[in-house]
Structure 1
């Protein structure tokens, strides 16, 4: 996958779309998400069967069944949750739905962080929002090698506007980051030259999930053109 054929996370707005309208923020399409969730579930069940068989050989049939269930059930529930998960923006509020719905208002969020996850060779850069004892991670981009996938232009623009409306330093820093990402895309820069890719590359390898230090993000944004 190259940066030239990088698919967008959503469609451009039609004329007259209201800012309070529901706007999808899913980075991956539903087919891809469900396929990934199915693979996770299958992998979890296979591990559970193997573990249950080993315990069964040692302790008997029922201990083996119970041990297998203990391993399988959480993994299957996680896969189902991922398959059902969808994220959207209404006004300045981010919503996420899986088995239930959580929402955090960007305008009143207690904390903003850049979360980088590294899984199976793909590095995902997300906006981690906390507020009202709830937290939501909005995936902004996913890169593998020199290509990847990014949220669409309109999605990034709306997020940038909502963050800028906070009026505080964290909101302005993240807003400027997203605006810089839009400028890089407008200039036709390759994925490796875009701000989100470069920031994601700053995270040390070998960790599944990590937050970049706010000062590092602020310093990086200040250094951008």
Structure 2
């Protein structure tokens, strides 16, 4: 969950699902893409010519390879109050203490997601907090991630950030007593949006967040 950072505060991982968990799936996906590219290249080589066949194989394989590499490479950490997000294009940093906007968004569906979106100046970062299935299963951000996020949000001057911090503290308390999903603020937030029968992402109001906390 953590990575050492000798030049600053301890990094705490904020990945809802660590890349190591789905690495085998990505390997199978890449292998299937390679197989499909080879088959397509062979068929085109026999029917057209091998130059076209090779180009077609590369065009089929390249998107899958880029996707697999980007998923494995992408990580999110929190160092103090600074969110660090690593992508293929570099490292992006957003300081929660300097946030100009803090929102909780719910993406309803068969697999519903709830995320935290932090904006600081021109920088913006989305942090996944949990995802739940219609059957009541799902995955929530680990306790250390929730704790450090709540502390970082509490350092902000924004009322919205303080409200989200309180909601996350409520989530931690619910998890500490092993409460059911119906008593956990993150799940209740998702349920709140599900009953509205909408398909678009919904940003929770300050009042709704306060009620969940």
TM-score normalised to the size of structure 1?
0.70
| Change in CA separation of 1:67 and 1:21 when aligned onto 2, cut-off 3 Å | same
Residue matched to 1:16? none
Corresponding residue to 1:33 among 22, 25, 28: 22
Work out which of the residue numbers 97, 111, 125 in structure 2 matches 1:107.
97
Q: 1:90 is matched with which residue?
A: 79
The 5 A counterparts of 1:127-146 are 127-144=116-133, 145-146=135-136
1:129-168 to 2 correspondence within 5 Å? 129-144=118-133, 145-168=135-158
Aligned 8 A contact 1:148 1:191 in 2: no
C-alpha separation in 1, matches of 2:106 and 2:158: 23
How has the CA–CA distance of structure 1 residues 65 and 117 changed in structure 2, closer, same or farther, with 3 Å as cutoff? farther
CA distance in 2, matches of 1:71, 1:133: 35
Q: Pick the structure with greater CA Rg.
A: 2
1:21 has 2:13 as partner: no
Q: Distance in 2 between matches of 1:49 and 1:116?
A: 41
1:167 aligns to what SS in structure 2? coil
Q: What number of residue pairs does the alignment pair up?
A: 204
C-alpha deviation, 1:175, in angstroms: 1.1
Answer yes or no: is the 8 Å Cα contact 2:37–2:60 preserved in 1: yes
Q: Looking at both structures, which has the greater relative contact order when contacts are Cα pairs under 8 Å and sequence separation is at least 6?
A: 1
Find the partner of 1:73 among 38, 56, 62: 62
The answer as to whether partners of 1:113 and 1:211 remain within 8 angstroms in 2 is: no
C-alpha contact 1:117 1:125 (8 A) present in aligned 2: yes
Report the counterpart of residue 221 of structure 1 in structure 2.
209
Superposed CA deviations along residues 36-61 of structure 1, whole A, max 9, x for unmatched, are: 43344456556767887898899765
Which residue in 2 is equivalent to 1:193? Answer: 183
What is the distance in 2 between the residues matched to 1:78 and 1:117?
A: 22
Q: Secondary structure at the match of 1:28?
A: coil
1-side partners of 2:100 and 2:31: how far apart?
Answer: 38
C-alpha RMSD of the superposition: 3.5
TM-score (norm 2): 0.74
Determine if contact 2:104/2:115 at 8 Å carries over to the other structure: yes
Structure 2 segments unaligned to the other structure (5+ residues): 3-7
Structure 1 contact 114–211 (Cα < 8 Å) conserved: no
